[in-house]
């Protein structure tokens, strides 16, 4: 039984998903293929987004060492760091994901990446850039001191896929941005405590809504997972009502 007044901690899988979905960047580790240091772990900074099923997406140049490493050995590791702003970083959450990277030619996945990183629009058209999908196999979550979990990819991604919602995502976002910009601003201001104008919706998945205003990224979590456009509408109406109630 939970102590009175204590908020139960989210399940490890839900915490892992939240870290991946909310990330803008990650540290990518690959096995170096250079003759002078073969097989050594090679870490680099990458911008990251997620596919509809929460698998990480990377846009990489063929000229980069990490891309050449992946061409020879598809095994990669991604570190998602959720400790920013903490006085004691080791008390914060971080996730090391193990998976295999493969080129992804799915247009919806590329659209998701570019909505999260609009500055990548120009070089995404260069012939030497490719979108990669990282299929998670295992993940190591450190949620804080003593809260450590190994997770199988299938286990923590089980609730991430919602095909009907993914199919409707573009229409939902277009409707929100065309007709409900004011509500998005109220949600950012009153539910997340964020300043700024011009908030737009850039992604929706079973667990939350992603927002952008200029260089600011934010994420609104849903109370319960959603699976289709109807459930999305109900969840968004409730969030808008809550935001207006705090205005």
pLDDT digits (tens, 9 = 90+) for 138-190: 999 998 877 899 999 888 787 788 999 999 999 999 999 999 999 999 999 99
Q: Which residues of 72-110 are buried (b: 16+ CB within 10 A; e: fewer)?
A: eebebbbebbbeeeeeeeeebbbbbbbbebeebeeeebb
Domains of the chain: 12-157 (2.30.110.10), 163-245 (3.20.180.10)
pTM for the predicted model, two decimal places = 0.91
pLDDT score recorded for residue 33: 93
Confidence class for position 132, pLDDT limits 50, 70, 90:
very high
Task: Identify the sign of the CA torsion 132, 135, 140, 143.
Answer: positive
Q: Is the predicted pLDDT of residue 8 greater than 70, yes or no?
A: no
Q: Token digits for 200?
A: 């737009």
């Amino acid at each position: 039984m939970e102590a009175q007044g204590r908020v139960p901690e989210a399940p490890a899988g839900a915490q892992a998903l939240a870290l991946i979905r909310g990330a803008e960047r990650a540290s990518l580790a690959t096995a170096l293929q250079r003759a002078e240091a073969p097989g050594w772990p090679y870490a680099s900074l990458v911008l990251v987004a997620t596919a509809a099923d929460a698998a990480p997406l990377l846009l990489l140049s063929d000229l980069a060492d990490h891309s050449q490493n992946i061409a020879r050995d598809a095994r990669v590791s991604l570190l998602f760091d959720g400790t920013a702003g903490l006085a004691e970083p080791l008390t914060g959450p971080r996730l090391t994901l193990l998976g295999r990277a493969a080129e992804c030619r799915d247009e919806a996945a590329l659209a998701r990446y570019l909505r999260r990183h609009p500055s990548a629009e120009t070089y995404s058209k260069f012939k030497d850039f490719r979108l990669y999908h990282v299929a998670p196999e295992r993940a190591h979550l450190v949620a804080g001191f003593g809260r450590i979990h190994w997770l199988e990819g299938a286990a923590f991604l089980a609730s991430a896929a919602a095909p009907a919602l993914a199919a409707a995502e573009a229409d939902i976002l277009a409707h929100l941005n065309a007709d409900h910009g004011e509500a998005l601003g109220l949600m950012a201001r009153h539910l997340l405590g964020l300043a700024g104008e011009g908030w737009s919706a850039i992604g929706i998945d079973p667990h939350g809504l992603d927002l952008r205003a200029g260089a600011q990224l934010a994420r609104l979590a849903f109370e319960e997972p959603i699976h289709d456009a109807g459930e999305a509408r109900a969840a968004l109406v409730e969030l808008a009502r809550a935001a207006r109630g705090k205005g």
